[in-house]
Amino acid sequence: MKYSPFWWEIEQGLAQAAGEVNLPLEADYVIVGAGYTGLSAALTISRQGHSVLVLDSGVPGFAASTRNGGICSGQIRLSHSALSAKCGIDYADAVYAEGIEARLDLAKFCAEEQIECDLQMTGRFTGAMSPKDYETQCREADRLNTIDGHKAFMVPKSDQQSEIKTNLFFGGMVREEIGGFHPGKFFAGLLKTAQAAGAVIHAQTCVEEIIGTSTSKKTVVTNRGSVLAGKVIIATNAYTGTKYQFGKFLRRRLVPAQSCIIVTEALGTETVKDLMPKLRMYGNTAKLYSYFRPTPARDRILLGSRSFDRHRPSARSVAYLHQKLAQIFPELSGCSIAYCWLGNVGFTRAQIPTLFENDGIFYAAGYAGSGTVWARWLGKKIAETAMGTGNQPSAFWGPPPPRIPFYDGNPWFLPAVHRYFGFKDWIKRR
Ligand SMILES: Cc1cc2nc3c(=O)[nH]c(=O)nc-3n(C[C@H](O)[C@H](O)[C@H](O)COP(=O)(O)OP(=O)(O)OC[C@H]3O[C@@H](n4cnc5c(N)ncnc54)[C@H](O)[C@@H]3O)c2cc1C
């Protein structure tokens, strides 16, 4: 088994941005982090004729942006009804409408920039883990269908086999407008497009400190020297870490939770189609959520869920994910697992993405496991805000999220949260 992402095995090559040339002394914009957020911001700003320097402490793209499941939903963790209860129905409508806009914009972007990344709007089936969950989904589908662009319908348990060959679920909801892509191919295309637009990207360049007042230019201090920046955008999301001073403000407001993914051996396209007749993206309503899908060649199945590990998957995580897969498809209990890896997913306490400015520095983060659509879109939005050109603000723009009490970037409470969620799922199953 390979302990590296299935998505790294592409011809385009991901490590195209080298760090051997000297850092420039000055740039109009410095962006910290070269994932979807940072590169999308860099592309947007470069195309307005400004000089842009993107700094990444590792290899660009090797964090969440090429470790994800590739499901392109543009939704947020909270259902429309939960978000309405928390923030009001107008806000919920605005967020769910922006999700549609962001997803359509992703498809338009890939077409215009000729990024071939196997993007397909296959629809997503979310299996209900209890009859009560199915009823809740029915109400949610009715509500979603009142918002332009949403196409939700319910599949009762009696018809479920036409969607997925399992007896685990009590029916489920299909959202036809959701789809998936190949994260590695998308990242390679985005990187090439940003570089072609003039963005300069430095790998292995770790930002350690940012010095300056809220109205002045900033000195960005790195392990390879300092750069004077007109404006700074932080795009480090769930990889901000706990080591450096500059990340302190964000890491106190963002929880990095690990998610682990397995990909099966090649099963053959007929087997995959037999198990997933509509070849959609899939999920479930469990608190300890699983997401799964066919790979773009449709000959393997990918499944992701919680991780027991922080850095490298252990045998325990592999066994746990394989067991989840076998609960859905008992036929796969004996198959081999060919790939396993993990990565960090960023959550604000409210589980809502966030765009804000603090001390003259701009931030976009907290996509809660839905960054394939949101990170590119909100990278673009934060760039427009920083340049002062955005005439259409995002619903997520606002004051910084509140600081999480007793927390400084090390999520010590996650094992307890996972145990609590696991207990709630167990009660639900009973
Ligand atoms: C296992 C997994 C599965 C997921 N599945 C899905 C999915 O199916 N669908 C979906 O929509 N989303 C999914 N996501 C979420 C999605 O991948 C992320 O939201 C998105 O990639 C975030 O992009 P980003 O650019 O903000 O952050 P990242 O891609 O994580 O980039 C942050 C960058 O900041 C750099 N950095 C950090 N500190 C410094 C520093 N001090 N100096 C310089 N650089 C620094 C890092 O090296 C990194 O390259 C998943 C995530 C994971 C981990």
- Judge whether 169 lies within some domain: no
Q: Rounded to an integer, what distance in angstroms lies between the CA atom of residue 157 and that of residue 396?
A: 36
* Pair type for strands 361-365 and 291-294: unpaired
Q: How far apart are CA 363 and CA 207, in angstroms?
A: 15
Tokens 């990565």 found at: 343
Residue 427 has pLDDT above 90, yes or no: no
Q: How far is the CA of 238 from the centre of ligand 1 (A)?
A: 6
CATH of the domain at 361: 3.50.50.60
Domain assignment present for residue 197? The answer is yes
In a domain, residue 358? The reply is yes
Which residue stretches of 329-407 are H helix? 371-387
Q: Which of 30, 236, 291, 374 to mutate to test the pocket of ligand 1 (most atoms within 8 A of CB)?
A: 236
On whether residue 206 sits in a domain, the answer given is yes
Burial pattern 92-121, b for ≥16 Cβ within 10 A else e, equals bbbbbebbbbbbebbbebbeeeebebbbeb
3-state secondary structure of 356: strand
Ligand 1 mutation pick, 292, 367, 376, max ligand atoms within 8 A of CB: 367
Q: What is the reported pLDDT for 172?
A: 98
Task: Indicate the average pLDDT of the chain.
Answer: 95
pLDDT reported for residue 16: 59
pLDDT digits (tens, 9 = 90+) for 163-193: 999 999 999 999 999 999 999 999 999 999 9
Residue 152 has pLDDT above 80, yes or no: yes
Q: What is the mean pLDDT of residues 421-429?
A: 87
Per-residue pLDDT tens digits for 71-92: 999 999 999 999 999 999 999 9
As a residue count, the chain comes to 430
| Atom number in ligand 1 closest to CA 258 | 53
pLDDT at position 311 is 87
**Residue 182 parent element (H or E):** none
Task: Give strand pairing partners of 281.
Answer: 124
Model pLDDT, residue 15: 61
Q: How many angstroms separate the alpha carbon of residue 63 from the centre of ligand 1?
A: 5
| Per-residue pLDDT at 392 | 80
Rounded to whole angstroms, the Cα distance separating 328 from 163 reads 13
Give the model's pLDDT for residue 329. Answer: 98
Question: 375: which 2 tokens?
Answer: 């990170």
In a domain, 176, yes or no: no
Q: Whose CA is nearest to atom 22 of ligand 1?
A: 371
Q: Kindly state the average pLDDT of the residues 329-333.
A: 98
Q: For residue 20, what pLDDT band results from cuts at 50, 70 and 90?
A: low
- CA-to-CA distance for 336 and 184, rounded, in angstroms? 23
Mapped onto helix, strand or coil, the DSSP state of residue 222 is strand
Confidence class for position 253, pLDDT limits 50, 70, 90: very high
pLDDT bracket for residue 11 (50, 70, 90): confident
Q: Predicted confidence band at 19 (pLDDT cuts at 50, 70, 90)? A: low
Interatomic CA distance for residues 374 and 258, integer angstroms: 19
CA distances from 360 to 10, 230, 385 (A): 39, 10, 12
Mean predicted confidence (pLDDT) in 304-316: 90
Residue 35 lies inside a defined structural domain of this protein: yes
Q: How many domains does the chain have?
A: 1
pLDDT tens, 285-308?
999 999 999 999 999 999 999 888
CA of 42 to the centre of ligand 1 (A): 16
Residue 72 Cα: closest atom of ligand 1? 11
Ligand 1 interacting residues, C-beta cut-off 6 A: 32-38, 55-58, 63-65, 67-71, 73, 206-207, 235-241, 244, 259, 261, 291, 304, 343-345, 367, 369-373, 375
Please check whether residue 162 lies inside any domain of the structure. Answer: no
What is the model's pLDDT at position 17?
54
Query: Within a domain: residue 280?
Result: no
Tens of pLDDT, residue by residue over 359-384, are: 999 999 999 999 999 999 999 999 99
Nearest to 366 by CA among 236, 209, 208, 191: 236
Looking at ligand 1, which atom is closest to the CA of residue 36?
Answer: 25
**Token pair of 173, please?**
């909801």
Which residues span the domain enclosing 191?
Answer: 7-67+185-254+349-414
